[in-house]
Amino acid sequence: MPQYNRKSQFSWALYDWANSAFATTVIAGFFPLFFKQYWSAGVESTTSTFWLGLGNSAASLLILILAPILGAVADSSGTHKRLLAVFATVGIVATAGFFQIAQGEWTWAISLYVVAIIGFSGANVFYDALLPNLTNHQDLHRLSALGYAMGYLGGGTLFLINVTMTLKPHWFGLADATAAVRFSFLSVAIWWFVFTIPLMLGVRNQAPQKPGKVRLSSEFSKLWTTLTNIKQNENLWLFLIAYWFYIDGVATIIRMAVDYGIAIGLPSNSLIVALLLVQFIGFPATLVFGRIGLRFGAKRGLWIGLWAYTIATLCATFMSDVTQFYALAVVLGLVQGGVQSLSRSLFCQLIPADKSGEYLGFLNMLGKAAAVLGPLLVGIVAATTGSSRLGLLSIILLFVIGMWFLYKVREPTSPPPP
């Protein structure tokens, strides 16, 4: 492969390194704790929980609606990089704004959080859409895996630094842990900005489908055509149904793992260590899954990952100590990135490359709708049986249904026609 392509690919993958710091330090790590303990100081716990949940839901719902539209507009106008830069800038500025919010100003905090989530998620629509045009059909699995692997390494590296800052603030010349968390938010914004530059400079813009002025009405019409095409393509909608079920299970495990650890009495420091384990194990493991997809096909790699999730979920219902939780983190770290990256690359093999933004907008839409069925299923089973362990066990149903539909998907050996 020509050298300039390799440089473009690495520049593209570095954006995952850049924005994954937001996913780890902000979303998974510090924002929920800081929002409840610092910004919402003096506010009823139930009130702060309500607003945090509402903020997450509002941002996710907006992206859920906009993702396919944004992707279609980018395809028509060839403005993937420009729109990525706009949304990333929105997320970066909002994240930097956390540094300025004083104690008790929870309304400002949750408002900026919603804006940051929209910027983060919106930019990902265009980032994913650039993938099919950076490599050939056969090499999609490797490049998709490289992006996710860089994300795990980059997000984990900054999160490790940020955790160290909060545990040992005097090492960094900071007054206390509160100051360390505020500077951690600022460091995420700087990290995100700096490592977005290679993509802006090293990846070429895609050519527009139809040069000229883009009309929103025509984009809605095109979206309806895309939906019709998906309905007529049995292989494609079978994959989308499979993805919707199993990625809901994956997202539910990701969001509930720490809460589950707290519920069974594990110390918070151990849970942070487990989160770091997932990040750093995820880096090499995701690269390995890319090779598995390249050599044996994406479906086989996904089977490995989804069976691992199913068995790990079963074992988690019997978990009782920190060592077992660490073992769970190791298993998830080994397969989480592989399931995510192979899902993206397999989908890219099923769609026309010149409509990648539009179709990947639908994939992102399903991803944003993830963890809807899972928590509901867990809640109903737990309330009915009186056992949170049986509630967690019910997630296996999502993996089983997803694998059943995935079994029916025919993995392509050549790219689909435009």
- pLDDT tens digits, the chain, 418 residues: what are they? 443 478 899 999 999 999 999 988 888 778 877 887 789 877 776 677 677 767 766 777 787 777 777 777 777 777 889 999 999 999 999 999 999 999 988 899 999 999 998 999 889 888 988 888 888 777 888 888 899 899 999 999 999 999 999 989 999 999 998 999 999 999 999 999 999 999 999 888 766 655 555 555 555 566 666 677 777 778 888 998 999 899 888 877 876 666 567 666 777 677 778 888 888 899 899 999 999 988 888 999 999 999 999 999 898 888 878 888 888 889 989 999 999 899 988 988 888 766 666 677 677 667 766 656 776 677 677 777 777 678 778 889 999 999 999 999 988 765 555 5
The answer to whether position 330 is within a domain reads yes
Name the amino acid, one letter, at 27.
Answer: I
Same domain assignment for residues 98 and 189: yes
Structural domain of 92: 1-137+150-198
> Which CATH number belongs to the domain containing residue 362 in this structure?
1.20.1250.20
Assess whether 193 and 256 both reside in one domain: no
177-194 and 3-21 helices, crossing angle to 10°:
160
In a domain, 192, yes or no: yes
Instruction: Assess whether 262 and 355 both reside in one domain.
Output: yes
Is 250 domain-assigned?
yes
My answer on whether 47 and 187 are in the same domain is yes
Both 273 and 191 in a single domain? no
Residue 205, domain member (yes or no): no
Contacts of 77 (CB under 8 A, 6+ apart): 208, 214
Does residue 119 share a domain with residue 260? Answer: no
Q: Give the span between the Cα atoms of 345 and 343, in whole angstroms.
A: 6
Task: Say if 297 falls within a structural domain.
Answer: yes
Residue 212 falls inside a structural domain: no
CA atoms within 13 A on the CB side of 270: 17
Distances in Å between the Cα of 113 and the Cα atoms of 29, 61, 397, 416 are 14, 14, 33, 39
State the Cα torsion 396-402-405-406 to the nearest 10°: -120
In this structure, the answer to whether residues 168 and 230 fall within a common structural domain is: no
What is the number of structural domains in the chain?
A: 2
For the whole model, what pTM was predicted?
0.79
Q: Are residues 107 and 178 in the same domain?
A: yes
* Residue 234 shares a structural domain with residue 120: no
